[in-house]
Structure 1
Amino acid sequence: MIRYFYTEHHVTTETESIKNGTWIELTDPTEEEARKIASKLKIDIADVMAAIDPEEKNRIELQEGYTLILVDIPALEVRHGQRSYTTIPLGILLTQDEIVTVCSEVTPILAQFERDQVRDFSTKKKLRFVYQILLRTSIVYQKALQLIDRRRSEIEGRIDKVESEEDLIRLHELETTLVYFATSLRGNGNVLDRLTRYKRLQQFPEDRELLDDVIVENKQAIEMTAIYRDITDSTRELLSNVMDARLNNVMKRLTSITLILAIPTMISGMYGMNVDGRWMPLAGAVHGFGIIILITIVVCILLILLLHKKKML
């Protein structure tokens, strides 16, 4: 899908064609749409389609007549039946007169620009637009990290009620997401370092301050990711230890029950053998059967008391 936006008199609206200062938004473009834009702006189609490949790395490439910027942004996907965060590439192409954004899906990062809800946004100030996109990206990362930590806290809050490995799997998914975030944020940080030395397009005085804000927010997101990874890892280990302890308790109880049941089984087995009754205690007694049952019960009770004292029951 191709959409065109243009800012005039501080108001950004959608247009039907390309003119100087236009923002061209490509969302999951077909090869025909990508070829159309590449032909009009004299851009390599491979650079236009770069952001569609999920394996593309964060980078800046200075080409003849345009610049390619690739960064990673947060996105939602379904893993194991649950909505989880991942990262996808966002491509930004800067020509002398236009800016092109390319993404494989609709992203909330660009939605506010589409609705003209970002202060000081203008499609004509291309480098500032890039910084504003990167600032929004860092803020969305931070919000996603807070949501991830909230999910971890919910799991930790019911840790004493966990009966299956479902929460353990969810914690693993959160850890996986944090690994994706850490890798992407470091890559975005490298892109920001290169942007501090970018001189091809005009920078307004306030643009440098905006870039500094983006760098600070990205570093903060990196620190949050590292902290939340450590906390999530600790929570997973705690949950795993709790489940192991419960399993050990179950095994102890089963072992104790087996020991208790072994007493009557052993005694009844002895008296069930085909041997001379003279060699079996109480075999000839009038109340022999009742006495044997009573002795068996007493031994079982004593064993139960002993196991309870040893905290095995």
Structure 2
Amino acid sequence: MVKYYRTDDRKIHEEPTIQDGVWVQMVNPSVAEGQMVADALDMDVEDVLAALDEEESSRIELQDGYTLILVDIPSIEIRHEKESYTTIPLGILITSGEIVTVCTEDTPVLQAFLNNRVREFSTKKKLRFVYQILYRIAVLYQSDLRIIDKMRTEIEERVGDDTEEVDLIALHELESTLVYFATSLRANGVVLDRLTRYKRLEQYPEDKELLGDVIVENQQAIEMTSIYRDIINGTRELLSSVIDNRMNSIMKSLTVITLVMAIPTVISGIYGMNVNEHWVPFANTAHGFAIIIGIMVIICVIILLLLRKKRIL
């Protein structure tokens, strides 16, 4: 899908064709649509469609007549029938008169501009527009990181009798997400560092200040990712310890039961041997069976008391 937008009097509206000062928004475009935009703006179609490759790394390239900026943005995907976070590329191409954004999905980063929720937004101020996009990306990372930490907190609150192996799997998925975030944020940081030395387009003092804010927010997101990874790692170790302790408790209980049940088994096995009744105690005694059962019960009770005294039970 390809749409053209332009701002006039601080309000955005859709345009029918490409013209000067237009923002070309491409959401999961086809090869034909990519070729059409590439021909209209005299760009390489591979650069236009670069963001469609999920393996593309963040970078900035200066080409003849245009500049390509690739950054990673957070996105939601369905993993194991649950919503999880990942990162996908967002391509930004800047020409002398237009700006093009390319992404595989309709990201909330750009929806904010379409809904007029960004102050001082203008499609004609291309470099400022780019910095505003990058700022929204950093803010979205921070928002998703807070949601991830909230999910971790919910798992941590269940630590105890309600702890299950599924919680360990959930924590592992959260930790994997933070690895993706950390990698993408560091790569985005390299792009931002290069933009500080970007001289191709005119930068106003307000633009440089905004770029500084973007760098600060991106660095804050990196630090949040590192902190949350450490916390999740500690929570995962805690859950593992709880599950291990629970398993040890179960094994101890089974061992006690086996030990106690071994006494009646041994005694009944001895009395089950085919020997002369003269050598079997209580064989000819009245109520001999009840006496033997009583002896077994007394022995079992003594063993249980000893185990409790030793704090094994």
The two structures have a TM-score, normalised by structure 2, of 0.98
Corresponding residue of 1:176 = 176
- The superposition leaves residues 286-305 of structure 1 with CA deviations (integer Å, 9 ceiling, x where unpaired) of 23222111110000111111
Corresponding residue of 2:41 = 41
Moved more, 301-310 or 188-197: 301-310
- The superposition leaves residues 145-198 of structure 1 with CA deviations (integer Å, 9 ceiling, x where unpaired) of 000000101110111133421111110110010000000000000000000000
RMSD over aligned CA atoms reads: 1.0
Deviation at residue 277 of structure 1 after TM alignment? 1.9
Please state if 1:63 is matched with 2:63.
yes
Equivalent residue runs for 1:90-239 within 5 Å: 90-239=90-239
Deviation at residue 112 of structure 1 after TM alignment? 1.1
Which AA in structure 2 matches 1:37?
V
Deviation at residue 9 of structure 1 after TM alignment? 2.4
Corresponding residue of 1:253 = 253
Q: Is the 8 A contact 2:54 2:89 kept in 1?
A: yes
Moved more, 38-47 or 303-312: 303-312
Corresponding residue of 1:272 = 272
Corresponding residue of 1:7 = 7
Deviation at residue 74 of structure 1 after TM alignment? 0.4
Please state if 1:292 is matched with 2:288.
no
Which AA in structure 2 matches 1:177?
T
SS at match of 1:21: coil
Moved more, 86-95 or 275-284: 275-284
Which AA in structure 1 matches 2:145?
L
Corresponding residue of 1:87 = 87
Cα distance in 2, alignment partners of residues 297 and 163 from structure 1: 37
SS at match of 2:238: helix
Cα distance in 2, alignment partners of residues 10 and 235 from structure 1: 48
Deviation at residue 204 of structure 1 after TM alignment? 1.4
Which AA in structure 1 matches 2:9?
H
Cα distance in 2, alignment partners of residues 230 and 214 from structure 1: 25
Deviation at residue 281 of structure 1 after TM alignment? 2.3
Cα distance in 2, alignment partners of residues 39 and 180 from structure 1: 35
Cα distance in 2, alignment partners of residues 104 and 295 from structure 1: 78
Moved more, 273-282 or 263-272: 273-282
SS at match of 2:6: strand
SS at match of 1:160: coil
Moved more, 82-91 or 303-312: 303-312
Q: Is the 8 A contact 2:76 2:84 kept in 1?
A: yes
Which AA in structure 2 matches 1:181?
F
Q: Is the 8 A contact 2:91 2:101 kept in 1?
A: yes
SS at match of 1:161: coil
Cα distance in 2, alignment partners of residues 161 and 222 from structure 1: 34
Which AA in structure 1 matches 2:225?
T
Which AA in structure 1 matches 2:62?
L
Cα distance in 2, alignment partners of residues 188 and 218 from structure 1: 8
- The superposition leaves residues 67-119 of structure 1 with CA deviations (integer Å, 9 ceiling, x where unpaired) of 10000000000111110110000000011110000000110000011122210
SS at match of 2:5: strand
- The superposition leaves residues 36-79 of structure 1 with CA deviations (integer Å, 9 ceiling, x where unpaired) of 00010011111111100000000001111111000000000011
Structure 1: which 5+ residue stretches go unaligned? none
Deviation at residue 8 of structure 1 after TM alignment? 1.7
SS at match of 1:159: coil
Q: Is the 8 A contact 2:163 2:239 kept in 1?
A: no
Which AA in structure 2 matches 1:282?
F
SS at match of 1:100: strand
Structure 2: which 5+ residue stretches go unaligned? none
- The superposition leaves residues 20-44 of structure 1 with CA deviations (integer Å, 9 ceiling, x where unpaired) of 1100000000011001000100111
The two structures have a TM-score, normalised by structure 1, of 0.98
Cα distance in 2, alignment partners of residues 289 and 157 from structure 1: 54
SS at match of 1:67: strand
Cα distance in 2, alignment partners of residues 308 and 78 from structure 1: 50
